[in-house]
């Protein structure tokens, strides 16, 4: 009941937070564009986004590829059309599963840790100290993380697609007894440059979401240790919601446009 009362008293607080996040995103993009961000911090964050997240993305993508292909193969075997297995798996992994898995893993693995780090700096007044010393927090904290996320998330998405496809191939060989060449030939026939562009666009948006929300919520944290914990949870939840929301919006937009420009694309 208290939560409902609080929501009633502040019905538009989430709009204010989103507006602040968008403002910080634009400021960070400007800093990146003019090249005045902390290069050393960027390299460190790129390592965290990339190499530190690589194992978990690989493991999750592999098992999702296994489960997805197994489920699809059962349905196709029921109708006697296992030759379409590679096509179905390719569309699912490249257009949807790969970008979402990479984005969610980055939000859970890096986004929460990044929000906690910046939130700790906020409650210990380290960010205020930067401002007193006339140093821009956007330059030292947000811009390097945003750039690292927007570069590494698409790369991790490609890696997730590759590992997920290997998982699908194993099921196709061992369970369906499908020829490997037939499986990958279906990939080659159905996956084109448009699909890769869609996947990378989603990955770019996911990376921007995770970094922007984590940094924004972190810098606005107060209330000591309890505030740090709340910020960490909040950043992960909001980032995941944003990932699924924009995934739907991008997919819906692509299919709506494709129906007009290229009807064969939606089949």
Domain boundaries, the chain: 20-249
CA–CA separation, 20 and 35 (whole Å): 22
The 3-state DSSP class for residue 200 equals helix
Angle between helices 85-92 and 180-190 (to 10 degrees): 50
Degrees, nearest 5: CA angle 162-163-164:
95
Rg (alpha carbons) of the chain, rounded to whole number: 21
Q: What pLDDT, in 10s, does the model give residues 175-214?
A: 878 777 777 777 777 777 888 888 899 999 999 999 999 9
Helix (H, G, I), strand (E, B) or coil at 191: coil
**How would you write the pLDDT of the chain (267 residues) with one tens digit per residue?**
344 444 444 556 767 778 888 889 999 999 999 888 888 888 888 888 888 888 899 999 999 988 888 888 877 776 666 667 777 888 888 888 889 999 999 998 888 888 888 888 888 888 878 778 877 888 888 999 999 999 999 999 999 999 998 888 888 888 878 777 777 777 777 777 888 888 899 999 999 999 999 999 888 887 777 788 888 888 899 999 999 999 999 888 877 766 556 655 555
Helical residues (DSSP H) of the chain, grouped into ranges: 2-9, 13-34, 39-50, 54-79, 85-92, 98-106, 112-123, 126-132, 137, 143-174, 180-190, 193-219, 224-261
CA 190/CA 53 separation, integer angstroms: 29
Rounded Cα distance, 215 and 146, in Å: 9
3-class secondary-structure state, position 13? helix
For residue 167, count other CB atoms closer than 10 A to its CB: 21
């Amino acid at each position: 009941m208290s939560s409902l009362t609080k929501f009633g008293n502040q019905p538009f607080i989430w709009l204010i937070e989103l507006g602040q996040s968008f403002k910080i995103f634009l400021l960070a993009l400007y800093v990146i564009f003019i090249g005045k961000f902390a290069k050393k911090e960027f390299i460190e964050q790129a390592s965290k986004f990339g190499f530190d997240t690589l194992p978990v993305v690989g493991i999750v993508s592999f098992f999702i590829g296994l489960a997805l292909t197994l489920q699809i193969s059962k349905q196709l075997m029921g109708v006697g059309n296992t030759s379409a297995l590679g096509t179905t798996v390719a569309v699912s992994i490249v257009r949807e599963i790969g970008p979402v898995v990479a984005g969610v893993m980055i939000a859970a693995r890096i986004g929460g840790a990044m929000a906690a780090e910046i939130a700790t700096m906020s409650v210990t007044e380290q960010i205020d100290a930067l401002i007193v010393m006339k140093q821009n927090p956007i330059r030292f904290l947000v811009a390097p993380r945003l750039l690292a996320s927007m570069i590494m998330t698409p790369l991790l998405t490609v890696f997730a697609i590759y590992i997920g496809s290997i998982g699908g191939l194993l099921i196709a060989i061992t369970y369906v007894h499908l020829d490997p060449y037939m499986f990958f030939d279906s990939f080659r026939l159905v996956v084109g440059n448009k699909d890769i562009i869609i996947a990378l666009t989603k990955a770019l948006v996911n990376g921007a979401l995770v970094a922007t929300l984590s940094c924004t919520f972190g810098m606005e944290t107060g209330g000591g240790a309890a505030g740090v914990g709340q910020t960490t949870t909040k950043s992960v939840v909001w980032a995941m919601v944003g990932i699924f929301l924009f995934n739907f919006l991008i997919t819906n937009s692509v299919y709506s446009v494709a129906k007009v420009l290229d009807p064969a694309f939606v089949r």
